[in-house]
Structure 1
């Protein structure tokens, strides 16, 4: 991961600090993204250094949550590739317009306990976007994924050719805003679940 951020091996504490600052400066947004204060606190704890030496398991990088922190802080598209058909997703910055320069940070999750930097070939297939990004990105970031749709589509086609599981084809979906204060717009419906 250090290589992907353009920093040396000795910079891991600086990266933790960068991510902790990002987390705290945008606390309200991340509490919402992570689904509450409990998960936020787990992420915050993971970024808080515990001492010198090997990191305990509760201090390891947690995905998908930290994918969004990395994407926003370093203005990169973060790609997580899981091994053995594991979880693989893209994390785009949650705010800000896309840049013309391609900035990809690809991390491979190996052996269930280690991340390594993967250098991708130009225009290679990319996994689909995290559904959390679709739900939580701000208006100015909605076009960030457009540049990569053909590569995500190629990844789905590759999975199909290998009879792999396709989670979904990436389709741009409009955001729907529902005003829950309008009680008249919500009509209760009674459903009888008893069998005849």
Structure 2
């Protein structure tokens, strides 16, 4: 504007002032987002002390650094501590120690620069009389509001206060225990297997029972078609890595004739080897379709987590092992057994919320790394 005769110093000053006002508004808006908006990658209790107290940009850098913990562990030499020295944020080895200890990231581990979420200038020593940070009046008003509410309102207000007072705790509750509602008097000798309290069956139940009985008599015996299983097979256990054998309870194998029948698909006949189950493709499919954790003991050993859901402590974990270079068997493991690492493709293509699976099973995956012998 100063390069021609159209503008002057006054107009230039006004333009700069408007531009600064716009930037200041954007900065304040970003502070408000850091206060109230939580991204999916930061909903884990691991970030409980940081949510609402640290800039979202810092949380994103910490989440990216957390991915390095899988191969860095707690080793400072491998870590290099670049994020700590350059940005004042916890690096991979620090995050590994917090994760192994099962504690959230402390607020003191983040530099004060990332914790300043206001444009207000800090008062110098001696200028603060305490009136700006005094919460006595606010707490008194909160108590008056609490006493004036009904039961539903008190519960809602208490829930909001607990979110501020206990940021690392979740509001989710485990399912309630099953309540026994069986209060009827049971008569011995008269109780059918299908009812808690005896009653006379209806007409259609008599008909259904007679129909099922006639069908059972007309159908051929199914005992010859039962899957033949065999357990406790040491010749299979020795084919798995040494450090995991002590965690194996038994191996369930399917007899060869049943395997042959399973490869026969109606109207298609026997299927060639390229149609058989193969990893890692089928591992992703099983984990995502049934929302389970699939552990495969082979070469290499891999864990498959769902790629679109969040961690669940009650998830089912299934383990299979590759034996004789041509066959998969079911492996029953002991409770809390170590988990092998995930694939690089899972880390690359999983959603943000799916990263909570690695956080939830961090201790067991770290245990596997400690048991795995170091190759020279």
| Alignment TM-score, normalising by the size of structure 1 | 0.53
Deviations 1:34-74 (A, max 9, x none): xxxxxxxxxxxxxxx57234x32111111001100000111
Residue 331 of structure 2 corresponds to 118
Quote the Cα distance in structure 2 between the aligned partners of 1:147 and 1:121. Answer: 18
Residue 32 of structure 1 corresponds to none
Residue 169 of structure 1 corresponds to none
Quote the Cα distance in structure 2 between the aligned partners of 1:103 and 1:164. Answer: 32
How far apart are 1:164 and its partner, in Å?
4.6
How far apart are 1:77 and its partner, in Å?
0.7
Change (3 A) 1:164 1:115: farther
1:58 aligns with 2:271: no
| Alignment TM-score, normalising by the size of structure 2 | 0.29
1:149 aligns with 2:366: no
- For 1:150, what is the secondary structure of its paired residue? helix
Change (3 A) 1:151 1:164: farther
Q: Pick one of 97, 104, 108 that aligns with 2:321.
A: 108
Determine which structure has more spread, i.e. the larger CA radius of gyration.
Answer: 2
**Larger relative CO (CA 8 A, sep 6+): 1 or 2?**
1
- For 1:116, what is the secondary structure of its paired residue? strand
Quote the Cα distance in structure 1 between the aligned partners of 2:283 and 2:319. Answer: 10
- Between Structure 1 and Structure 2, which shows a larger proportion of helix residues? 2
Q: Pick one of 287, 309, 312 that aligns with 1:71.
A: 287
Quote the Cα distance in structure 1 between the aligned partners of 2:269 and 2:322. Answer: 24
Deviations 1:133-153 (A, max 9, x none): 100101221111212111111
- For 2:361, what is the secondary structure of its paired residue? helix
Quote the Cα distance in structure 1 between the aligned partners of 2:330 and 2:358. Answer: 21
Quote the Cα distance in structure 2 between the aligned partners of 1:98 and 1:124. Answer: 18
- For 1:119, what is the secondary structure of its paired residue? strand
Quote the Cα distance in structure 2 between the aligned partners of 1:103 and 1:145. Answer: 15
Name the Cα RMSD after superposition: 2.2
How far apart are 1:113 and its partner, in Å?
1.1
**1:122-133 counterparts in 2 under 5 A?**
122-133=335-346
Unaligned segments of structure 2, at least 5 residues: 1-225, 228-264
- For 2:332, what is the secondary structure of its paired residue? coil
Quote the Cα distance in structure 1 between the aligned partners of 2:375 and 2:360. Answer: 24
Quote the Cα distance in structure 2 between the aligned partners of 1:97 and 1:124. Answer: 21
Structure 1 residue ranges, 4+ long, deviating more than 2 angstroms after superposition: 49-53
How far apart are 1:127 and its partner, in Å?
0.7
Q: Pick one of 152, 159, 162 that aligns with 2:372.
A: 159
Quote the Cα distance in structure 2 between the aligned partners of 1:75 and 1:98. Answer: 10
- For 1:145, what is the secondary structure of its paired residue? helix
Change (3 A) 1:151 1:136: same
1:92 aligns with 2:305: yes
Quote the Cα distance in structure 2 between the aligned partners of 1:112 and 1:133. Answer: 25
